[in-house]
């Protein structure tokens, strides 16, 4: 098979990298869509990134001073290289300090299969990476695997293992699948992300017929309508929809590696809202470096030819 290019979001590897990470993210007009010309958009959101980096520094300090995403991606690349007997490159979309080395490595290849660690296609994640790397015509993309049996099996195993480890009974559990939100305008313009999130949710829930399942969206940024229901609001009204279930487990269905939005946002902001209603609440880890997840990625990668 072709050599692989493993594509991920990127995350600050240390506290000093928070600002350049946020600047690269917020200045991406695939993520923050404005009518402004690029120079004005970049000036405005460069200032926002500087201000926000100060605000979230304490959040990163609480999770160890760095995001695990970069390190997980590199570890997965090494494991896949051994499993598939091919070379596996990495590209971290919002870590500008890594881009020069990534571009240089990509240019040495005449054929690459790009495997994003975003299971559900969104124009602001996989779409952004495709456009950013469009100069590299030798790249073929796996656009999505939201409903791929290997992905669904990996997440059901992650959840089932978690329930077993915590002695939680399926019939007494509500599974709250929390996906990263996007503005409603993305969907109105034809983005398939909401449809793919629903496909993943329904696909995993087929493995848990005795549990109650619900899908929500987290991490809203800025003004405007985003995909609903919002995870924070669902957590605040848990007693009304959980139908007497003894515990709620939040499953980060669109996240394959734990990072600030799971380790801090879910853990510190959402779980307390559920517990305040006298319901036990848990965060199921993402797939991270589980061997069955790496095997699933190898299966998905082979579909690239």
Identify the pLDDT of residue 157. 98
Same domain (yes/no): 153, 279: yes
- The answer, yes or no, to whether residue 187 has pLDDT greater than 80, is yes
Contacts of 273 (CB under 8 A, 6+ apart): 232, 235, 236, 238
Identify the pLDDT of residue 92. 98
Q: What is the mean predicted confidence (pLDDT) over 126-151?
A: 92
Same domain (yes/no): 187, 64: no
Same domain (yes/no): 126, 158: no
How much of the chain, in percent, has pLDDT values that exceed 70? 99
Paired tokens of 64: 């160890």
Q: How confident is the model at residue 240 (pLDDT cuts 50, 70, 90)?
A: very high
How much of the chain, in percent, has pLDDT values that exceed 90? 94
Report the domain count for the chain.
2
Same domain (yes/no): 8, 84: yes
Contacts of 267 (CB under 8 A, 6+ apart): 283
- The answer, yes or no, to whether residue 197 has pLDDT greater than 80, is yes
Same domain (yes/no): 114, 233: no
Identify the pLDDT of residue 138. 84
Same domain (yes/no): 185, 106: no
Same domain (yes/no): 162, 111: no
- The answer, yes or no, to whether residue 113 has pLDDT greater than 70, is yes
Identify the pLDDT of residue 134. 86
Identify the pLDDT of residue 101. 95
Residue 184 belongs to what domain range?
149-283
Q: What is the mean predicted confidence (pLDDT) over 76-97?
A: 97
Identify the pLDDT of residue 8. 98
pTM of the model: 0.96
Q: What is the mean predicted confidence (pLDDT) over 257-269?
A: 97
Q: How confident is the model at residue 12 (pLDDT cuts 50, 70, 90)?
A: very high
- The answer, yes or no, to whether residue 148 has pLDDT greater than 80, is yes
- The answer, yes or no, to whether residue 89 has pLDDT greater than 70, is yes
Question: Which residue carries 């409603």 as its tokens?
Answer: 184
Same domain (yes/no): 181, 128: no
Instruction: Quote the Cα angle for 240-242-243, to 5°.
Output: 85
Q: What is the mean predicted confidence (pLDDT) over 63-75?
A: 97
Q: What is the mean predicted confidence (pLDDT) over 70-79?
A: 98
Q: What is the mean predicted confidence (pLDDT) over 59-86?
A: 97
Same domain (yes/no): 209, 257: yes
- Looking up residue 204, the CATH number of its domain turns out to be 3.40.50.1400
Mean pLDDT score across all residues of the chain? 96
| DSSP conformation letters of 35-96 | SS-HHHHHHHHHHHHHHHHHHHHHHHHHTTSS-SHHHHHHHHHHHHHHHHTS-EEEEETT-G
- The answer, yes or no, to whether residue 223 has pLDDT greater than 90, is no
Same domain (yes/no): 156, 268: yes
Helices (H) and strands (E) in the chain, counts: 12, 8
Which among 96, 77, 95 is positioned nearest to 87, based on CA atoms? Answer: 77
Same domain (yes/no): 249, 275: yes
Same domain (yes/no): 223, 262: yes
Q: What is the mean predicted confidence (pLDDT) over 95-119?
A: 94
- The answer, yes or no, to whether residue 136 has pLDDT greater than 80, is no
90: which strand partners?
A: 6
Q: How confident is the model at residue 305 (pLDDT cuts 50, 70, 90)?
A: low
Q: What is the mean predicted confidence (pLDDT) over 214-240?
A: 96
């Amino acid at each position: 098979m072709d050599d692989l290019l493993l594509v991920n979001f990127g995350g600050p590897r240390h506290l000093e990298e928070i600002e350049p990470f946020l600047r690269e993210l917020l200045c991406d007009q695939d993520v923050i869509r404005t009518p402004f010309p690029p120079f004005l958009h970049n000036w405005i959101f460069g200032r926002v990134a500087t201000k926000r980096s100060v605000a979230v520094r304490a959040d990163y300090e609480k999770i160890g001073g760095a995001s695990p995403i970069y390190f997980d991606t590199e570890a997965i690349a090494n494991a896949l290289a051994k499993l598939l007997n091919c070379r596996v490159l990495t590209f971290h979309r919002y870590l500008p300090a890594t881009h020069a080395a990534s571009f240089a490595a990509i240019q040495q290849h005449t054929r690459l299969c790009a495997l994003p660690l975003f299971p559900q296609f969104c124009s602001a994640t996989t779409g952004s990476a495709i456009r950013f790397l469009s100069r590299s015509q030798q790249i073929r993309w796996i656009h999505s695997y939201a409903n791929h049996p290997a992905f669904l099996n990996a997440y059901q195993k992650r959840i089932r293992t978690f329930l077993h480890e915590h002695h939680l009974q399926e019939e007494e559990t509500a599974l709250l699948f929390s996906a990263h939100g996007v503005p409603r305008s993305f969907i109105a313009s034809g983005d398939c992300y909401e449809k793919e999130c629903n496909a993943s949710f329904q696909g995993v829930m087929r493995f848990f017929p005795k549990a109650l399942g619900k899908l929500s969206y987290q991490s809203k940024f800025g003004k405007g309508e985003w995909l609903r229901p919002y995870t924070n609001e669902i957590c605040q009204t848990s007693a009304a929809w959980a139908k007497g279930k003894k515990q709620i487990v939040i499953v980060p269905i669109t996240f394959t590696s734990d990072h600030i939005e799971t380790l801090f946002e879910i853990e510190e902001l959402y779980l307390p809202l559920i517990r305040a209603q006298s319901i036990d609440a848990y965060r199921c880890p993402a797939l991270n470096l589980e061997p069955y997840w790496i095997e699933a990625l190898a299966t998905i990668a082979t579909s690239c030819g």
